[in-house]
Amino acid sequence: MIDATGGAFKLVEVVSSPFPTMLQNISSTDSWFGAGAASQNDDGWGDSPEGIPETKLMPQNSQGYVIKPISQIKDIVMIIVERLMQLTTLNEDKTIMMLRKYNWNEEKLKTVWFELEGEDAEIMLRQIGAKFDTKIDESFPFTKATRRDQNSGICAVCYNEFDDGEFAADSLECGHEFCREDWNQYLVAKVNEGFQGCMNAKCLQTECNLKVTHSMYKKHLKEEEFKHYERWFVKSYTDENKNARWCPFKGCEYCAIYQNSGIKDVNCLCGESYCFECGEELHKPASCENLKLWIAKNSSESDSLVWIEANTKKCPNKMCLKPIEKNQGCNHMTCKQCGHHFCWLCLGDWKDHGSATGGYYKCNIYEEAKKSDTRAEFLSLEEQMQRAREELNRFVFHYERFSNHQKSKKHAQDMIGRLNFAIEELRTKQNYTLPELQFLGDTLKVLIRARHGLKYTYVHAYYQKDAELRQISQYSQEMLEKFCEQIDEMLSHFLEVYQAQYIFSTSLTPFYQERDRIISFAKATKQYYENICGIMRM
Amino acid sequence: MQYSSAVVTPRIMKETKLLLEKTPPGVRVTVSEENPRHFLFDIQGPPGSFYEAGIFKVEIFLPSDYPMSPPKALFRTKVFHPNIDKVGRICLDILKQDKWTPALLIEKVVLSIQWLLGAPNLDDPLDTSVADVFKASPEHAEKTAREWVQLYAK
């Protein structure tokens, strides 16, 4: 459990406090934020940071995941390896290779391993490079020259004589001997080659199927070099494993390790939240698929194309066809590109226009074309533009709201500093206790999370095809927006009023009244947020 | 021990000695006078192939971290072959870092290059335009290859 008064956050052990790093600053000596909250449910709202006993490295908790810094992953991996070593009775190196073969999926490995019988297990081990394939001796007799019993006492790589020092002979299980110095140089070269080169390195002998083992790296690399190797080793666990994911936020070195399915939201110890499934920022209630589409839409040029389609016409000069936007003036257009004169409405040559066709601001040709069916093609162009405009408007509508909530969320986050200061003032000058003031931090957290969620309701809504469902969620959306505005205002107001201590120093009642009001609003907001997530999941 | 380009390692000495004393058939070797890591080979085209009777000059250079890194090899004779491009670069697996192993020898590299001449690999071409000719019309490819041998590899 986090020490409520000590203030020393052991980040490693904290799970699921959405903004610990930010809120830590609220009070440097007092952890107001942990006090009295431990009994509440840990639901990702950050009101109860649960500690994990240091002794249990892989605890099962209600979250379904644990968060670990890069420095601890290695230990976790070794615990898994050890556990499986006992089951498979393979040595450490072979167990690691088997685990990698099955993408670190322990269950899969267990199932497969215990179904393998006799010879099949041997074949499997040979395939993954954990056991020497003696057929290689037959197919490539020259490789035998470096085998322990047949070599001439000279290293086939550097041609130095084997000795007991830097040229001491060493080999993998295959018995292809090379000197220590060369093993070191080879392994260093492999580590520098990168992840693939390092984790799939083979024996120095050509055609030998044996993979370089973990213990060989340990034995022949110097301390610094081995640390470099361990980076790739850890990467093998985190990147080849579906149950691990690095925090996607910049500069964060925490990794989430999944333990049971269901929950997709990860509250990283760096203070950010993300979706375990797709690795993007937390995007509830929008689905991963919709988010992907949304991101593609926002970053692609296709939307500028939609805009161009909706707002421009192509110069009718067949040799030019530049898109032209008309932002003011009459229908007489002169293309800047090619100098062609044309009518904006009917796109005909301006030569055919004049007072007879209605002058500069009216085009009879266009009016007639609109009436007659003969210019169907012309009309369909109009319709196309209209549709594109509507689509664009719809996108802009959702996008504007999406980015507005982004801004509001930022605004709420900016309030943390002020809140921090106010709490300290209220505590020291007016003697309110920290548990009494805790609602301020909690409410702000609710506000931030709700703003964040609102942002993504617009992604969801943009892709919602069902009109009825869209209407239902629109209603909840509106309510949530209202509540957010409310508590935003209440908090700002509260900070303004109560920071000036002299106003209410004589009577305490209004403080508690206001406090209760804010708490109930925060509760309602949280409820609406959860409702909206429920509705939108339909 | 750090290998550098100026230093000739025991391995290189031994390999050079072996190459000079027991040169494989169909191969002639010259070691550069300025740089003992620089070799020039005359490789005979394999009998029965499009390249028979041709003598191909191939340059081989041993990088400073040889044998941890593979030797660098380059054709100095123009050759019409799908795995050798216009500037003489060679597409051969053992010349790449991930397939090279330190226990391989220069001799092996040379023999593999000779073997490659006799066995063009159309699945992994370096010069696609040459590979296209080989695929579309093997007769035409043979004719051009033999012409080039007459023109450049004599």
pLDDT at A88 over 60: yes
Q: What is the reported pLDDT for A374?
A: 52
Ramachandran category for residue A353: left, alpha or beta (phi over 0 → left; psi -120 to 50 → alpha): beta
B94 is catalytic: no
Q: What is the reported pLDDT for A286?
A: 86
> pLDDT grade, residue A217 (50/70/90)?
very high
Tally A–B CB contacts below 8 A. 50
3-state secondary structure of B81: strand
Quick check: A206 and B9 CB within 8 A? no
Do A435 and A36 form a contact (C-beta atoms < 8 A)?
yes
pLDDT at B50 over 60: yes
pLDDT at B103 over 80: yes
AA letter at B125: P
- Percent of chain A at pLDDT > 70 equals 78
Spans of all domains in chain B = 10-152
Chain B residues touching A176 at Cβ < 8 A: 103
DSSP B45-71: PPTTSTTTT-EEEEEEE--TTTTTSPP
Average pLDDT of chain B is 88
Q: What are phi and psi of A169, to 5 degrees?
A: -80, 140
Dig out the tokens for A3 from the structure. 């020490």
> pLDDT grade, residue B2 (50/70/90)?
very low
Q: What is the dihedral of CA A229, A233, A238, A240, to 10 degrees?
A: 120
Q: What is the reported pLDDT for A422?
A: 83
Residue of chain B minimizing CA distance to A160: B10
Q: Tell which residue, A406, A483, A415, A480, has the closest CA to residue A444.
A: A415
CATH topology of domain A386-536: Four Helix Bundle (Hemerythrin (Met), subunit A) (1.20.120)
pLDDT at A132 over 70: yes
pLDDT at A46 over 50: no
Average of per-residue pLDDT across A96-118: 88
Q: What are phi and psi of B83, to 5 degrees?
A: -105, 10
The residue ranking higher by pLDDT, B131 or A15, is B131
Residues with Cβ < 8 Å from A418, sequence gap 6 or more?
A495
pLDDT at A18 over 90: no
Dig out the tokens for A360 from the structure. 């500069």
Taking only residues 3 to 22 of chain B, the set having a beta carbon closer than 8 angstroms to any beta carbon of chain A reads 9-11, 13-15
Average of per-residue pLDDT across A247-273: 82
Q: What is the reported pLDDT for A306?
A: 65
Taking only residues 70 to 99 of chain B, the set having a beta carbon closer than 8 angstroms to any beta carbon of chain A reads 94, 97-98
pLDDT at A43 over 60: no
Average of per-residue pLDDT across A454-480: 86
Chain B residues touching A204 at Cβ < 8 A: 101-103
Among B4, B17, B98, pick the best mutation site for testing chain A contact (most A Cβ within 10 A): B98
Q: What is the reported pLDDT for B29?
A: 93
- Percent of chain A at pLDDT > 90 equals 16
Average pLDDT of chain A is 78
Quick check: B102 and A197 CB within 8 A? no
Give exposure, A394-418, as e/b (b: 16+ Cβ within 10 Å). Answer: ebeebbebbeebeebbeebbebbee
Residue of chain B minimizing CA distance to A145: B103
Pairwise CA distance, residues B99 & A242, whole Å: 29
Q: Identify the top-confidence range among A431-435, B57-61, B99-103.
A: B57-61
pLDDT at A19 over 90: no
Angle of the A434-463 helix axis to the A467-499 helix axis, nearest 10:
150
Quick check: A181 and B9 CB within 8 A? no
Q: What is the reported pLDDT for B27?
A: 92
Average of per-residue pLDDT across A255-282: 82
Spans of all domains in chain A = 72-239, 315-372, 386-536
Quick check: B10 and A181 CB within 8 A? no
pLDDT at B69 over 70: yes
**Which CATH superfamily is B10-152 part of?**
Ubiquitin Conjugating Enzyme (3.10.110.10)
